[in-house]
Structures are given as C-alpha cells and as structure tokens.
Amino acid sequence: MTDDFKHMRSEKLVAFYKRYRAALDATPIGGRMMPYRWWTLPDPIGGTWMAYSQMLDEYASELANIINDITHNVHRLRVWSEIATTLNDDDKLEVSHEFIDILGTVAMGQPYAIKSRFAFAAGHLSHQANRAADGAGWKDDFPAKNLYLNDIEPYCSKWKRYRSFKLKVERIAGKKFKEASDDFRNSYNHGFSSRFLIGMTTTVKRVAKDESVVYEFGGNEALRVDEIANLLEIERDHCYQAFDAFRRLVEEQIGAIVAREGGGAAASGGRAPATPGTGELLQFDASTGDINFDGKKVGSAKYNCGRARVMFSIAYETDTEHWVLPLSCLSYGLRKAGLDQRPPTIFEVTINVDDLEPVTVSGPVLLIEKTLKFDGHTWMFHKSDPDPWPSPLHGHDYECGLVIDGITGRIFDKATRTEVAKLKLKALAALHDEMRASKDLAPLASQHLPPV
C-alpha cells in the first residue's frame, strides 16, 4: 500500500514538474543577464597586481552568477504561481513542499547575500587597487571579518565612483523588502517564517514593552508566490544597477593601475586616513568600530547579518539648563534610525478654551520644556530642540507619538512625518492664548505667533 502511494505521489509530482518546465520554456525569462569577462587588465601585468587580477576574475564572475540566478528564480516563481492557481489545497501542499519552499527560501535570501558580496568584492578590490595611489605607503591592514559597507569605507571612499556604487548597493534588501516579506530571512533563521503558497504561522505572538506583556493572536497568512516574485523583481533590478556601478568602479581602478604601471600617477584611490567620521566630541572610527568621547573609547559598533549593534556609555557634566540637550539629540537620532516607529494615528481634535489647563508638575521643572494639557493630549513644548521641525514652536505628545505645529495647528505622526489631523480655528486660537500666557513660551510665542 505504501509503495503504491509513493508511486502515485511521484507520478503526480512528475506531472506537475512537466507542466512547470513546459511553461518555463514557453515564457521569456525577463530582466537581463549580467556579462562575464568585461574588463581588460594590462598584459603582461606586474606581480604586484596578481591578487587584484585573481580577485577580480573570481568576484566579478560570482556576482554575475548569483544575480543571473535571482533573475532565473523570479522567472521560476512566476511560472509556479500560474500553475498554483489551478490547484486545490492538497495539490498546493504537495507542490509547495516539493518545489516552491526550497526555491522561495533560497530566492528570499539572495538579495541579502548579493548585498554582502558586493561589499566584500568592492572592499578587497579597492584595498588592492589602493597600491596604485599609496605606493610604498600601502599597508596590508584590511580587516579579517564579515564585511559591510561601513567596514570598507576607509578603503573605498577615495575612489570617485565608489559613492555612486554604495548608493546603489544600499537599495538592495532595504526596509521595504524586509517589511513586505514579513522579515522572512530573520524569522526563518531565528523564529518561524511565513510559509509560501499555503499555511499560517505565528498564530500567537508575545510582545513585551516596558513592564507590560501583550499576547497578539491571529497569525501570518502564507506569502503569495506572485507577490514574492514581484518583490524579488524589484531587488533584481537594484542588483542590476549595483552591478553596473561595480563595473564603473573597477574601470576606475584599472585606470589607476594602468597609470601606475606606465610610470604615471593614479588620479584617484588610496587608503583614507583612519580618522573619526563624525563630530568633535562623540566620534566613530570606521577602521576599528570604536566610538570615542572626548578622546576616550566609550563604545563600539559591530555589524552582523546586515544589522548593526551599537553599545556605548558616557558621563558628562554641564549646566542644569542644558543637560538634557544631548539626550534630546540622541532621541532624535534614534527616531531617524527607525527605532521609534508607530502605526498611523487618524483622529480629529476638538478643543474649547475651558478644556485648557496647566499640568500639575510633580518635581523640578527645567527651562528646556513647557508642558500644556488639553483634550486628553499632553504636549511638551521645547525651548531648545535639535530638530526644529515642523516649526520653531512645536510640541510633542510622546504617549501618542505625535508632533503639533504650535503655529499652524497641524498634527503629524512623528515617526513618518505624515499629517494626521489639524486643529480647528477656535482650538488653535485657544492654544495660542495659552502659549502667550506661559512665562516660558511667551518669548517664542511673541516671535512666531501672529499679533493679537
């Protein structure tokens, strides 16, 4: 009985695969194929450039291979999607288990792999090509670790075409792809990813925030194969653009090598000085990953699997009026980094003068902010804010994740800067009166609000 079942199942799967191959052969692949052996190095070439020559031959070929592979995978997924529309649930399970799961899992990881391989290739090639500019001062100090774009910056930044290449690579496997794919790669490796075609996962989710825990019930529906193909097609096109930029970068490097071999000087390239990248006090050394404050190491930044993990701890002294400003700047940076995302909030605010009342403050009040409360929203208006958006006179409702323009009354979601509501004229006038009457806000109000 078991043998008969296996035989019947095998015959059915073979029939499905025949349909798939026939449809695959009958439809165009789409996209374009990345070329091979598109570069020309001097022949003969000095032994100095042997590593560069061998690396270029391997890296360029492997990049073409994997990008061409994702092109084929998009085509394969589209064909399976068409076939799946004709199947019942039992047959969908069979096809998914035998063919689509493996194909989809590999294809969904390819954008991340391609992004990392571009960084690996560009970093190593730039390091070797820097010999053309640095000459006897060249040092073989390339980091022996997993490489991401920030890691290779000191070795690549002096090549004129690197910046364009970096911008193209950064688009690959970005935030939109991660969200649209239910963060497939991360959940596949560290949890339970969404299934392909049929099935449901994550029927219960534990969410811990602050000191509370919430359990969310529902689950993730299976990823539609046609939608996955559409997502991967976008990533495929990003890869095409990055490959074209990679070729231009290599051409620039070969030009420097040719100039050096001919007794001339390279027009670009060379190892960038290992100086901190930002700020005068809080600094980041891209070559070591160290974060320094006032000349001392206070933290580090490490990269793993396309994610950055930052750790630092500092102590500082300042006057009591401005001690919170560094924290405000850090908070703003964390929001810009996407660590304070909130769902869209849609509502209409109606305010009467009688609803306005000051908040009873239980503790010392810094001159940095002034608190007003009306209609259930507590708005904190800052006298000093590193980000003056949406106007110099604005307040934050941190509980709801909103920002109000105190001049116009427009209300925005602070994470996305999307306008979600607007105060009515009467409510806006009441808010203006309250700010004018405030000892701390009166100077800003007189400067930015219309005269009474």
Residue 209 lies inside a defined structural domain of this protein: no
Main-chain dihedrals φ then ψ at residue 103, nearest 5 degrees: -60, -50
Average pLDDT over residues 352-379: 42
In a domain, 330, yes or no: no
Q: What mean pLDDT do residues 99-118 have?
A: 93
Instruction: Pick the range with the lowest mean pLDDT from 69-83, 245-259, 344-358.
Output: 344-358
In tens, the pLDDT along 159-200 reads: 999 999 999 999 999 888 888 887 777 777 777 767 776 766
Integer Cα distance of 327 and 340 in angstroms: 15
Q: Is residue 207 part of a domain?
A: no
256 lies in the same domain as 304: no
Pairing between strand 282-285 and 220-221?
Answer: unpaired
Q: Which residue has the higher pLDDT, 323 or 448?
A: 448
> Is residue 324, in this structure, part of any structural domain at all?
no
CA distance 397 to 193: 35
The predicted pLDDT at position 45 comes to: 86
Distance CA 141, CA 156 (A): 14
Unique residue bearing structure tokens 């653009």: 241
pLDDT beyond 70 at 367: no
Residues 15, 44: one domain?
yes
Quick one: 169 and 109 in the same domain? yes
How confident is residue 368, by pLDDT bands cut at 50, 70 and 90? Answer: very low
What band does 349 get if pLDDT is binned at 50, 70 and 90? very low
The more confident residue out of 197 and 426 is: 426
In terms of domains, do 394 and 432 share one? Answer: yes
Specify if 327 maps to a domain. no
pLDDT at residue 118 tops 80: yes
Q: Are residues 164 and 295 part of one domain?
A: no
pLDDT band at residue 119 under the 50/70/90 scheme: very high
Domain tally, the chain: 3
Least confident of 32-36, 145-149, 153-157, 435-439: 145-149
pLDDT-derived band at 409 (thresholds 50, 70, 90) equals: confident
Structural domain contains residue 434: yes
pLDDT of the residue at 345: 31
Query: Domain span at residue 291?
Result: 273-316
Q: Please say if the pLDDT value at position 378 is more than 80.
A: no
More confident residue, 368 or 400: 400
Query: pLDDT per residue over 38-61, tens digit each?
Result: 999 988 888 999 999 999 999 999
- What integer best gives the mean pLDDT of the chain? 81
> What is the predicted pLDDT for the residue at 386?
63
Tokens of 21: 């191959």
Pair 143, 292 in one domain:
no
Q: What's residue 341's pLDDT? A: 53
Q: Residue 434 above 70 pLDDT?
A: yes
What pLDDT score was predicted for residue 363?
37
Over 60: is that where the pLDDT of 361 sits?
no
pLDDT for 220: 73
For residues 252 and 279, state if they share a domain: no
Q: Which residue has the tokens 């939608």?
A: 227
What's the pLDDT band for 256 if we cut at 50, 70, 90? very high
End-to-end CA distance of the chain: 92
Provide the residue type at 420 as one letter. Answer: V
The reply to whether 250 and 281 lie within a common domain is no
406 within domain boundaries: yes
| 267 pLDDT above the threshold of 60 | yes
Mark out the alpha helices in 43-100 (DSSP H runs): 50-84, 89-95
Same domain, 120 and 235: yes
Average pLDDT over residues 432-452: 84
Give residue 228's pLDDT: 92
Highest mean pLDDT among 182-186, 217-221, 359-363: 182-186
Residue 29 and residue 37: Cα distance in Å, rounded? Answer: 22
The answer on 183 and 292 residing in a single domain is no
| Same domain assignment for residues 357 and 307 | no
Report pLDDT for 274.
58
Most confidently modeled range among 78-87, 220-229, 288-297, 338-347: 78-87
204 belongs to a structural domain: no
d(CA 15, CA 87): 13
280 CB-near residues (< 8 Å, 6+ apart): none
Tokens found for residue 297: 């190491």
Cα 344 from Cα 356, distance rounded (Å)? 26
pLDDT at 280: 52
* Residues 168 and 279 occupy one common structural domain: no
